[in-house]
Amino acid sequence: MPNKRPLIAIVDDDQSVCKAIGRLIIKSNFDVVTVTSGQMLLDLLPVRPPDCILLDLHMPGLSGVDVLRALADTGLKLPVIVITGRDEPTARARCLAAGATAFLLKPLDPKRLLRAIRDALGGASICPN
């Protein structure tokens, strides 16, 4: 029987961030895959595209904006929530223009993050409240 739970990809070069967000997402009844680079996410797409992506903006190698552009080039319409520790208005505008569905600041507020994921998935219920 196929898995019905949405797959959320967490893309962040900080493994402690991946672990903390992953725990929250799993408790919210989602499947989670974590990768530590944009290239790893792009390599994952042919295997099982995630239903939603949480994407760190500032990473070595491909930046979050680079990944957004690469995702657009694939033709896949995947919702992407950009997360960052640096609130830069130009970065926010670039990410949203490149197709991000939301732009959230670290440290992440769990309720706000879950609401953004629910909105990105089209309103699917992910928590009892």
- Give the pLDDT confidence of 24-62 residue by residue, as tens digits: 999 999 999 999 999 999 999 999 999 999 999 999 999
Q: Note the pLDDT of residue 4.
A: 80
Q: Is the pLDDT of residue 123 over 80?
A: no
Q: State phi, psi for 128 to the nearest 5 degrees.
A: -65, -20
Query: Which residues are paired to 33 by β-bridges?
Result: 9
**Cβ within 8 Å of residue 34, ≥6 positions away:** 9, 10, 11, 12, 15, 18, 19, 22
Rounded CA-CA distance 55/64 in Å is 6
Q: Tokens representing 4?
A: 């019905």
Domain ranges, ordered by start, for the chain: 7-120
Q: Is the pLDDT of residue 124 over 80?
A: no
Residue with tokens 């732009």: 103
Which fold is adopted by the domain 7-120?
Answer: Rossmann fold (3.40.50)
Q: Is the pLDDT of residue 3 over 90?
A: no
pLDDT in tens, 57-82: 999 999 999 999 999 999 888 999 99
Q: Note the pLDDT of residue 76.
A: 86
Q: Tokens representing 68?
A: 């957004």
Q: Note the pLDDT of residue 116.
A: 96
Rounded CA-CA distance 3/38 in Å is 25
Q: Is the pLDDT of residue 112 over 70?
A: yes
Give ∠ CA 119-52-73 in degrees, rounded to 5: 115
pTM: 0.91
